[in-house]
Structure 1
Amino acid sequence: MAMDLSRVGARLRAARQQRGWTLADLASKAGMSTSTLSRLESGRRQASLELLLPLVSVLDLRLDDLVRGEPADPRVRRATERRHGRVVAPLTLEHSPVQTYKIRFPASRAAPSPKVHEGVEWFYVLSGTIRLVLDGREHLIGAGEAAEFDTRLPHSISASSDGPAEVVSIFSASGERIHVHGA
């Protein structure tokens, strides 16, 4: 992300006001004149490290908080994939700490072989019925219901034989590898 000095004043003002401080309060704490701070906040004075360092220290901010450029486009633009009969649509950016997907499972007469891996998994059923086999016990999870479980227990997830089912699923990294990309 590029450095952008044009928004420094507005960001300083917002941080000061969020703390309920006047211009004089912050200027005094940072060891500068009220007029200098006023000109900095209004954009009439160019920001410099010499002026910003005491301010970020007093405001308990990082310099990056004041000079960061435009944030990256927040829209997720990752391709939907078809894997093992499932349609998998990523709902999070590629480097998000937790991966979230919308997955459409085809109707299935039988549960797939159970898998075991580190992590926790959570899903919410948007439509249809999901068959969750967890530690040898079958659970039918319907639209509007959610499930969360320890993935160190043998488990498999599939749609019931009634028809396709669609879920939003949140995985740890190991769960993503097993369920989204295959072991």
Structure 2
Amino acid sequence: MEHSAIISSALEAVGPRLKRLRSQHGITLTELSETTGISQSTLSRLETGQRRASLELLLPLALAYRIPLDDLVGAPEVGDPRVRLRPRRVNGRTVIPLTPNPGGLQAWKIVIPGSQTEPEPRTHEGYEWLYVLSGRMRLILGDNDLTLGAGEVAEFDTRLPHWFGSAYGNAAEVLSLFGKQGESAHVRARSAPR
């Protein structure tokens, strides 16, 4: 697809995206107009595609919605080397992928809500390494029922029935490394002799 077609396609999607964002935020055209300084009629024409989006109009909208301009316009990926941390909800948890490509070793930051206290052990191929960043996490690993606090680590073969969630109804943040069967993370640094 050539550049002009890509740009045209992205600009055509701006109107519906703006309307969806306003709806998701539960605000009226009047409220958005007051926040951005853009007239209601201009905002309405932007949302219906009757007015072409410009930088002068999009910047105040990106600020009002508190999202990056790229997300507001749905800009195509351009080979940016940065890993974009796009959180998503998985089984009631917030999961932030830290590695961009599937396969090999995968890293995630997982935010476990305090409401996740009911164990549902499962098994699958692979090897997992968990590091508790904050809070307290409960880990069911086979017949073991463990509570891990900030700075504690667990590593295990995921073919063993396992589950991790909230300990004592408090939220926890966990770093998870997951790899193919047999891979494991090992700390190799040693302190210098005194």
Q: 1: distance between equivalents of 2:159 and 2:152?
A: 22
Number of the residue aligned with 1:99: 106
**CA separation of 1:96 and 1:154: change in aligned 2, threshold 3 A:** closer
| Aligned twin of 1:120 | 127
Q: CA deviation at 1:147?
A: 0.7
Residues 89-98 or 158-167, more deviating: 89-98
Look up the match of 2:148.
Answer: 141
1:75 has 2:82 as partner? yes
Report deviation, 1:98.
1.2
Q: TM-score, normalised by structure 1?
A: 0.51
* The 10-residue stretch of structure 1 (110-119 or 148-157) with the greater mean CA deviation from structure 2: 110-119
Alignment check: 8 A CA contact 1:125 1:144 kept = yes
Gaps of 5+ in 2: 1-78, 182-194
| Residue equivalent to 1:131 | 138
Preserved CA contact (<8 Å) 1:118 1:152: yes
In 1, are the aligned partners of 2:128 and 2:177 still within 8 Å (CA)? Answer: yes
Count the aligned residue pairs.
Answer: 103
Deviation of 1:150 (Å):
1.0
SS at match of 1:102: strand
The C-alpha deviation readout for 1:68-102, integer Å capped at 9, x for no partner, is xxxx5431114210122200011111246211000
User: Is the contact made by 1:111 and 1:131 (CA closer than 8 Å) also made in structure 2?
Assistant: no
One-letter code aligned to 1:167:
V
Equivalent residue runs for 1:16-165 within 5 Å:
73-95=80-102, 97-108=104-115, 110-165=117-172
Per the normalisation by structure 2, the TM-score is 0.49
Q: Of the two, which has the highest radius of gyration?
A: 1
Partner letter of residue 140 of structure 1? T
Identity %: 49
- d(CA) in 2 for partners of 1:95 and 1:110? 29
Structure 1 segments, 4+ long, off by >4 Å, are: none
Query: Which structure 1 segments of 5+ residues have no match?
Result: 1-71, 175-183
CA RMSD of aligned residues (A): 2.0
